[in-house]
Amino acid sequence: MIEITNNRWYAMSDAALMKSMGSFIKHHRLEQNKTQMMLAEEAGINRATLSSIEKGVNSNIITYIQLLRAMKLLHLLQVFQVEQQISPIQLARREKQSRKRASRKIKSKSKPKSDW
């Protein structure tokens, strides 16, 4: 099922993707009961720019980030976060180097005091 959805996105033209992104912005703007003017002011952009985005006209990625921030939807950008993963070999090396037990206290080998 996921592959079908992914194939749909790959099959879309750039213009169709832009239109889909514009529809997303418009949908969430209306869900938040905001006018274009209100959202544009919150995002620090021109209302005409927002109108163009909602129609699917090419725009700058910074503008989308500003809009997502104003709509409190920045969490959607988490898909772009890269997390470093440790390889199984590195993990095994770290486990090997980690302590397994507490060490014993070393008794000092001092010479016995003589009675002389």
The residues spanned by each domain of the chain are 15-76
DSSP string, 29-82: HHHTT--HHHHHHHHTS-HHHHHHHHHT----HHHHHHHHHHTT-GGGGGGG--
Residue 115 has pLDDT above 90, yes or no: no
Residue 2 has pLDDT above 60, yes or no: no
Residue 11 has pLDDT above 50, yes or no: yes
Per-residue confidence (pLDDT) for residue 58, from 0 to 100: 80
Contact status, residue 71 vs residue 32, Cβ threshold 8 Å: yes
Whether this model's pTM surpasses 0.95: no
Question: 15-76 has which fold?
Answer: 434 Repressor (Amino-terminal Domain) (1.10.260)
CA dihedral of 9, 32, 49, 40, whole degrees rounded to 10: -150
Q: Which residue has the higher pLDDT, 47 or 93?
A: 47
DSSP 102: P
